[in-house]
A = this chain, B = another copy of it.
Amino acid sequence: MPVPIEYRDAAPDVRAVFDDIKRTRQVADVNNFWKYLAHDPVTLRRTWESVKEVMAPGKLDVLTKEMLYLAISVSNGCGYCIASHGAAARKAGMTEAMFGELMGVVGMANETNRLANGYRVPIDPMFEW
Interface positions of A (Cβ within 8 A of B): 1-2, 31-33, 36-37, 39-40, 42-43, 46-47, 50-51, 53-55, 58-60, 64-65, 67-69, 71-87, 95-98, 100-124, 126-129
Contacts and interface: CB of A to CB of B under 8 A. Distances in A.
A9 to B, nearest CB: 16
Contacts of A105: 54-55, 60, 65, 68-69, 72
When all copies of this chain in the complex are counted, the total is: 6
Contacts of A42: 53, 100, 104
Contact of A121 (B32, B51, B101, B114): B32
B124 A51 contact: no
Contacts of A87: 126-127, 129
